Amino acid sequence: MKILVTGAAGFIGSHTAERLQTLGHEVVGLDNFSPYYSLELKELNHKALLDKGVSFLAKDLRDDDLKDVLPRDVDYIFHFAAQPGISSNSTFEDYFSNNIIGTKNLIDYALQCKDLKLFVNIGTSSIYGLEATFPEDFAPKPASHYGVTKLAAEQLTLQKSREKQLKSCSLRLYSVIGPRERPEKMYTKLIACGFNNEAFPLHEGSDKHLRSFTYVGDIVDGVVSVVGKESIVDGEIINLGTEVEHTTQDGIEAVEEVLGIKININVIAKRAGDQLRTKANIDKARKLLNYNPQTTLLESVKSQVKWYKENFL
């Protein structure tokens, strides 16, 4: 199969592209190499994919010539590209243009792909709102520009399923961690602070937040399992993550255990829109995809520390 992966130089997109290539598919990666975070990390991911045989296009989904530039003979599209996370440095326009306009442009291109079997939108638990513990039919209450625009992107995608114009689904991911995690995210930042003897900036009260910290390999297991199941997943929203909950404090202590040091903490102001609790309800994923994440928090942290040491020390 020929598969297009957007956001392929990013964290989860790069792992997915790599897995699909390893499974024997012909993978085309697309990324705009945004400077939202370190281009050094994106280039590391990019090189790893090229070494695996993934071809690459440097392209922004907000451009109006996608139909002229992208290949028309793809069988699957996995859409990871987005303005990610909750950040005071990102404007509403950043979220709107990347997550809504970019997705709309990609859908318009997808409609020109005559052999397309499935369009897979990558959603987020942030769509649910401040607490994300619900099944997929629960009414979303996003509490951030990120969550609002990712919900819009999801609905733009599923609209085409309802109109019978293409088969599509949306996978809502929960608190993904592991190698290649972005530098501003919790575990990479904790590990960096530990190795560099710097204080970790902890938002006030967030040490008690509950999360479904899910290893990226377990997430990718679920993502790639939709291949060949387009008739089953068409029009569906599916949660992917672990049912095991940990507090942020548990995460801090796991990193400290692996590094064998105590990390200094600098408490900073609360962050608006930050989720209080995520716990993946994966009954639907178990039923449709036989999904069963197994990696523990400590195993995930060990893998991420190993990756960090190999690439940044």
Which active-site residues does the annotation give? Answer: 146
For the record, the structure tokens of 293 come out as 């994440």
What is the rounded (10 degree) CA torsion for 223, 239, 214, 144? Answer: 110
DSSP state letter for 103: H
Residue count of the chain: 313
Distance from C-alpha of 181 to C-alpha of 175, rounded to nearest angstrom: 11
DSSP state letter for 127: G
Nearest to 3 by CA among 19, 23, 27: 27
Residue written as token pair 């969550």: 147
Q: In what order do the strands lie in the sheet with 246-247?
A: 131-132, 277-278, 210-211, 246-247
Distance from C-alpha of 202 to C-alpha of 194, rounded to nearest angstrom: 14
Distance from C-alpha of 127 to C-alpha of 108, rounded to nearest angstrom: 23
According to DSSP, the β-strands at 168-173 and 237-240 are parallel
8 A C-beta contact, residue 141 and residue 98: no
| DSSP labels, 51-81 | HHT-EEEE--TTSTTHHHHS-S--SEEEE--
List helix spans (H) across the chain.
11-22, 39-52, 66-69, 92-95, 102-110, 145-162, 186-196, 216-224, 230-233, 248-259, 283-289, 297-312
